[in-house]
Structure 1
């Protein structure tokens, strides 16, 4: 990050540190999928607070998981899985409009946070801070979330840490460079939607979704941004190739019949 912006944001953070919340999947479980193409799960009317949570996890002092939303799904067998998130506004239960003009980013990990009956994980748990201090340096991290690599977190009971093993990520819009190099994964079109296909083995997966505007972290109060998410099983590339080849043969045969 450019030093001038970095120092300004640091001063903002020192005067008003965000509260850190527990990681949960309530209302954000896409379910369990087999390898059968076409299976789809959609979750609407979710939101994250602040428009910088995902991008903040790309810098050297990590990010606050409270500024993202965690989703989960499971696979019973190997499959190609499409993951899509769109920034869409909606009216919440209190009658307030949740903004939709965000350019979302997401990271996919194998592994899950602690779920009931275990206590939930959160950034400021003593065990979570100890993990961060051991890896990132004592007192040098804002939170536990890391956008582009593995990370761990735990709960108040100091249960064995939840480990998120990085698989991949994607974000909406053009490539971003805040002075430390281009952040990989841009989809090239800022249209409030990002989508990516991953080849995955059987297992449990977590998706963390947040905003990509780093400099919005100084905005107060932090607004909420609406999300719609879709996870679906898609045909493997080989299947697409066979389908296209078959269609090509059918077209060729039809032209030959017309010529005769």
Structure 2
């Protein structure tokens, strides 16, 4: 049974983008990575067709030297009201290396630069790990040369674009939770409970804008890609969906109410 955090989103999908891309959210549905806005229980959006460079990008962001966001894919959505949201990802055979068979994702509040909501320093440009300002942030926190990129899968992190060399106006991604496809007893405490090629978690979220970073969890594979940065040999496909779902308490109350209605009907039938 999938482990559930008290936050929620359902299947999320990725759009094909070249490996050279910095942080962005792709084009429009169905192959873009902007899930749009959600207001009511039952609202759902799916995205398909995206590829991440390598099959290790998410898990690499869990170690001490951080990870490279180019090895993940970013998604976004807006939540209009407080709700439980379910997020789920699975592999898709759209990449040159096949599907991501072991997906993981992290959820953050906040959007990258070069969006309408967070345009960032002018001239407009997308955030990336190796901008001068991004490197300054990394070196200030972790020491010069001690990081492979800006991406932190299990913590809040900051990044900026080429127009912000002093990192005066960075994007801040505030960590809300994470999940990966695998056992609850794994080395990382974020397994969803079932190693079935699908990762699913539910989150209780306040209104706002959110980003999801998705990638693989095969830590051993990173050596096969050689250099860090925007390069990479193989891409791996992933798809998913985001849905607003009822809170567990709502289900319980609904079932209790149905039970009372059934009892009342049976009682009237015997009088």
> Normalised by the shorter chain, which TM-score bucket?
0.7 to 0.9
Q: For residues 48 and 166 of structure 1, what CA distance do their matches in structure 2 show?
A: 21
**Cα deviations by residue, 1:102-135 (Å, 9 ceiling, x for unpaired):** 1100000000110255210000001000000111
Looking at secondary structure, tell me which structure has more helix per residue: 1
Q: How does 1:9-158 map to 2 (within 5 A)?
A: 21-26=21-26, 27-34=32-39, 36-90=40-94, 99-116=98-115, 118-158=124-164
Distance in 2 (CA, whole Å) between partners of 1:176 and 1:89 is: 29
Is the 2:55–2:100 Cα contact (8 Å) retained in structure 1? Answer: no
Alignment-derived partner of residue 205 in structure 1 = 210
Any stretches of 5+ residues in structure 2 without a counterpart?
A: 1-18, 27-31, 226-231
Partner residue in 1 for 2:240: 229
1:158-201, CA deviations, whole angstroms, 9 ceiling, x for partnerless residues? 06100000000000012575xxxx31110121111111111111
* Contact 2:100–2:238, Cα closer than 8 Å, also in 1: no
Cα distance, 1:219 vs structure 2: 2.1
Distance in structure 1 (CA, Å) of the matches to 2:266 and 2:102: 46
Q: Which residue, 238, 241, 251 being the options, matches 1:240?
A: 251
TM-score scaled by structure 1? 0.83
**5+ long unaligned stretches in structure 1:** 1-18
Q: 2:195 aligns with which of 181, 190, 197?
A: 190
Tell me if the contact between 1:171 and 1:185 (Cα under 8 Å) persists in the aligned partners.
yes
Cα 1:176–1:238 change in 2 (3 A) is: closer
TM-score relative to the length of structure 2: 0.80
Rounded Cα–Cα distance in structure 2 between residues aligned with 1:198 and 1:79: 8
